[in-house]
Structure 1
Amino acid sequence: MKIGPQDNGTSLRRRWGVPLGVAGGVTAVSLAAVVVLGGTGDSGPEAATPAHGGGSPAASTPTAGPSASSAPGGSSSETGFTITDATTTPIDAGTVTKILSSCLGPDASRYEPVVAVRTPLASADWDGVVVAVDSGGQYVQCQSKGAKGTSQDSPPTFINDRLWGSGRVVAYFDSMMVPAGEGRYLMLGAGHYASDVSRITVSYGDDPKQYPARMAGGAFVYGAALSPDTPPGPRYLGPSPYVHAYDASGKEIYNQAEDPKFTDGE
């Protein structure tokens, strides 16, 4: 399933392409800062213990798009799962440059990386994420495999002029779940947050446990290794990832499971 950034068929799963805006402009973080700091949101006590949960959101939280029970041929999305690791690690500066160059070609020089991390598990095609921004506040998300970068979008940019001012707190770039060996899946995603957000976390399915995302330069990324508790079917959708945002006081100011953009099935 692939939804373009301008499409209306938004889904909680796989791929979020929601246009977004820049609040008060974006100050790009230097490459050195990305490498040294790695963004905020390192896995800490919240993510130290593997979490177990059901594979789909609670019935009271509808999602846009087909439900697990209506998937052709049946789906094991309702199968329990375990998040075995949600730790991401910074990618070094030289490799980030190569990833952006191969992902963006001659346009790479226009973009400054803000978050660049390796995911806790590698799939056949991806082992990390790099998010970068240009002087106009236009973001790109490039998945990495070693020093090579690719984008699921053409062009690989997100136009950020439709979010802020509408009361929204978070908007999304790409999100996906891909096989990463027998019985294992890689979940990764990224997005953009408003200036009053101090912390971003991600929960999965109906499990309440939240894992910290990496944050820098107005963007966040997350990655997690997931294993179904029982062998999944051929059309396994996995749990929906839900983004949560908190302000400086620790108050939750956004919960994706309650976002009308998703719950109203727009």
Structure 2
Amino acid sequence: MKIDPEDNRASLHRRWGVPLAVAAGVAAVSVAAVAAFGGAGDAEPVLAGPAGNPTGATASPSTGTTSGSTSGGTDKAPVTTAPDAFTVTSGKTTPIDAGTVTKILSSCLGADASRYHSVVAVRTPLASKDWDGVVVAVDSAGQYVQCESKGNKGNSPDSPPTFINNRLWGTGHTIAYFDSLGTVAGKGKYLMLGAGHYASNVSKVAISYGDDPKQYPAVMAGGAFVYSAALSADTSDPHFTGPNPYVHAYDASGKEIYNQKEDPQFAG
């Protein structure tokens, strides 16, 4: 499938596995836009905070530093951090009732809400100031949209929220990433959440965090997966912004057929 040039524009906010020379040469079309590149995983995750302002930038797996946002042409000095100084306290999500989902989609998508139906809608294991849930919905054409929630109000780091629909699949892809976000959720607490799309040969999606090999199952339905985790920081570093989440996919036999850590796009 031909990838439209629009999909090759990357957000200048937090990116995983993209050389700075590449990131600096592309235009931001959305506060949490995702560029579609090659490899087994299609379109890499982005960390965006409320209203599109990054809450921080976790170091890539191969480095010990993290750069601030370059949005608006302002570069911030790199910040040393310890992304793996954490403990996952919960990876459990709970369903959101249908009535609340309708309100979330309506406030997130506006007039477009009537075209979408929810496939995954869950509350996160920890609530932050701006987020306590995720809803992924799809329209009749198989196009997805991701909305974060706080109570019965929905919002999206994408502008417009339906921008996610411009992310095209390529031949051979197993996993496609939607938005991946993280934020502080109280003193020493951190919330991570994200979503994506999986190919028909995938029977299970699980997430590991940082260098911890333990995996936490994602919620899967309708071709979409959603994950979330509550973390506690095992460090007094005020710049701690959480570990990198890594996606793992398995087929019906239990064989791992995709490991983000081994994806050349993210190996750096």
Q: Give the TM-score band, short-chain normalised.
A: 0.7 to 0.9
| Partner residue of 1:198 out of 175, 184, 203 | 203
Report the CA distance between 1:262 and its aligned residue. 2.1
Contact 1:15 1:176 in 2 (8 A): no
| Partner residue of 1:130 out of 126, 135, 156 | 135
Amino acid at match of 2:165: I
* 1:164-243 equivalences in 2 (<5 Å): 164-165=170-171, 167-233=172-238, 235-243=239-247
Count how many residue pairs are aligned between Structure 1 and Structure 2.
Answer: 218
Q: In the alignment, what sits opposite 1:247?
A: 251
Return 5+ residue gaps in structure 2 as ranges: 1-5, 18-30, 38-57, 68-76
Q: Separation in 1 of the partners of 2:245 and 2:205?
A: 13
Does 2:91 align with 1:91?
no
Report the CA distance between 1:171 and its aligned residue. 0.9
> Taking CA–CA contacts closer than 8 Å with sequence separation of 6 or more, which of the two structures ends up with the larger relative contact order?
1
* 1:10-159 equivalences in 2 (<5 Å): 11-12=15-16, 17-19=34-36, 62=62, 67-69=63-65, 71=67, 72=77, 74-157=79-162, 158-159=164-165
More strand by share: 2
Going from structure 1 to structure 2, the CA distance change for 1:262 and 1:145 (only over 3 Å counts) comes to same
Contact 2:32 2:158 in 1 (8 A): no
Q: Separation in 2 of the partners of 1:19 and 1:93?
A: 32
Scaled by the length of structure 2, the TM-score of the pair is 0.74
Report the CA distance between 1:19 and its aligned residue. 4.4
Q: Separation in 2 of the partners of 1:138 and 1:73?
A: 37
Report the CA distance between 1:150 and its aligned residue. 0.2
Return 5+ residue gaps in structure 1 as ranges: 21-54
Q: Separation in 2 of the partners of 1:94 and 1:17?
A: 30
Instruction: State the Cα deviation string for residues 181-235 of structure 1 (Å, max 9, x = none).
Output: 00001000000010000000000001100000000000000010011112122x3
